[in-house]
Chains A and B, each alone.
Chain A
Amino acid sequence: EIVMTQSPATLSVSLGERATLSCRASESVSSNLAWYQQKPGQPPRLLIYGASTRAAAFPARFSGSGSGTEFTLTISSLQSEDFAVYYCQQYNDWPLYTFGQGTKLEIK
């Protein structure tokens, strides 16, 4: 099983500042990496797929990068609606998908 490790567990950032979230895979997942945003009481929403392709519902301030075992989600200028929990998920090891444990992004 591929283990996904996210860091940090909690990230405190001020409005308008940049947030950088990390995700590491225990073995290469190529670019088969997705990011999800989850707000309280809601299901996760697909944010990024293919490590760097942004889903249509999200603005350009969200970007993803990386390949192999190291991945980054960057939010360039935080807005109030961006505070949520973010999960990475590998889908390289079909059909045994795994999630990271999540990073909670909170207002500083």
Chain B
Amino acid sequence: QVQLVQSGAEVKKPGASLRVSCKASGYTFTSFYIHWVRQAPGQGLEWMGVIDPRRGATTYAHNFQGKFTMTTDTSTTTVFLEVGSLGSDDTAVYYCARSDYLKYPDSWGQGTLVTVSS
């Protein structure tokens, strides 16, 4: 079955950088896109961006351009989200989710809690 397994919770200091992983299994990795979604504590879902694992092409939401980078490693069927220069407002749960081209995300990772605190 389709599984997206994310890396574990992280605690980081302001100004540090972070990498969250999302390992995919149970389907052809390069046939589906991976989205990243952020959820701050007590808040709603924010779509951050999407990567095409086959080509490595990325699109970011306006609010997530600059210090957010999505990459992929097809040899390990893993997608990564890198965040640079963390601030307290980056404290959130980060989810990865899979979708077909032009379609809705249908499977989600379990989420990775990132806490930024001095």
A residues apposed to B, CB below 8 Å: 1, 32, 34, 36, 38, 43-46, 49, 55, 85, 87, 89, 91, 94-102
B80 interfacial contact with A, CB 8 Å: no
Give the number of residue pairs across the A-B interface with Cβ within 8 Å: 62
- Please give the distance in Å from B72's CB to the nearest CB on chain A: 15
Asked whether A87 lies within 8 Å of B44 as measured between CB atoms, the reply is yes
Q: Which residues of B contact A32 (CB under 8 A)?
A: 102, 104
Q: Which residues of A contact B47 (CB under 8 A)?
A: 89, 96-99
Residue of A nearest to B35 (CB): A97
Q: What is the 8 Å Cβ interface bit string for chain B, positions 43-55, against chain A (1 contact, 0 not)? A: 0111100100000
B67 interfacial contact with A, CB 8 Å: no
Q: Does more than half of chain B's interface fall in helix, strand or loop, or is it mixed?
A: strand
Size range of the chain B interface in the assembly: 20 to 34
CA of A30 to CA of B82 in the docked complex: distance in angstroms? 34
- Please give the distance in Å from A48's CB to the nearest CB on chain B: 9
Q: Does more than half of chain A's interface fall in helix, strand or loop, or is it mixed?
A: loop
What are 8 A-B interface contacts by the 8 Å CB criterion? A45-B108, A49-B104, A87-B45, A89-B45, A95-B33, A97-B35, A99-B44, A101-B44
Asked whether B106 lies within 8 Å of A46 as measured between CB atoms, the reply is yes
Q: Given A43-B108, A43-B109, A44-B108, does the pair A94, B102 have CB atoms closer than 8 Å?
A: yes
- Please give the distance in Å from B15's CB to the nearest CB on chain A: 29
